[in-house]
Amino acid sequence: MGNKNIKTSKKEIVDYWFSIVDECGLSVDASEAHERCWRCGCEMSLERCHIIPDSLGGEDKASNLVLLCKRCHLENPNIADKDVMWDWLRAYGTSLYDIFWVKQGMKEYEFIYGKSVEEEFAERSITDVNHFDKIVKEQMRKTIFHFGHPYLNSATMAGVFRVSLKMWDKVN
């Protein structure tokens, strides 16, 4: 990605975009744009990411750069059209920080097990979401510390749901 060669500073990128862009619908607001990923909203070390890739003629200018975490940087669209990046960022916009990967985990769960987490809840008549939440958080803590992941990927999050449902079944 040639990140090291970029001369534009992160501050210049934040200042440029948050002076002209309507932050509604983005995962971050102006005050946190220097420390939270613009796609997932997670507090992570951020990389400068070309909107139009340098290989496709994109320039080293604030207007052609956004800030993303490492994971989102790997998944961003590399297309010679600047609107696509913003379409993508807005599509993932969430107002709740750190919830992004939980949502991705729920999608992943449905993909793996052919059933949504909501359906699993309904089958078990889980109405006390707070109780289930406690189990999930406990499992998340174990997973994070055990494997030393800085944060959960969607497959791990799906696994956390699976294990939590098993725990639930054991005690209910």
Contact between 58 and 52 under an 8 Å Cβ cutoff? The reply is yes
Q: Judged by CB under 5 A, does residue 39 bind Zn ion?
A: yes
- Using the rule CB under 5 A, give the single segment among 10-18, 61-69, 114-122, 139-147 that binds Zn ion: 61-69
Separation of alpha carbons 168 and 20, rounded Å: 48
**Exactly one of 62, 69, 160, 165 binds Zn ion (CB under 5 A); which one?**
69
- Using the rule CB under 5 A, give the single segment among 7-15, 38-46, 116-124, 153-161 that binds Zn ion: 38-46
Q: Which residue has the tokens 């098993």?
A: 166
Contact between 27 and 68 under an 8 Å Cβ cutoff? The reply is no
- With respect to Zn ion, which residue has the nearer C-beta, 39 or 50? 39
Considering CB under 5 A, how many residues would be counted as binding Zn ion? 5
Site string for Zn ion, 91-130 (x = CB under 5 A): ----------------------------------------
Q: Judged by CB under 5 A, does residue 85 bind Zn ion?
A: no
Pull the structure tokens for residue 41. Answer: 């909203």
Q: Judged by CB under 5 A, does residue 37 bind Zn ion?
A: yes
Nearest alpha carbon to residue 121 among 164, 155, 157, 170: 164
Q: Judged by CB under 5 A, does residue 26 bind Zn ion?
A: no
Separation of alpha carbons 62 and 85, rounded Å: 14
Three-class DSSP category at 159: helix
Pull the structure tokens for residue 31. Answer: 């005050």
* Residues in contact with Zn ion by the rule CB under 5 A: 37, 39-40, 69, 72
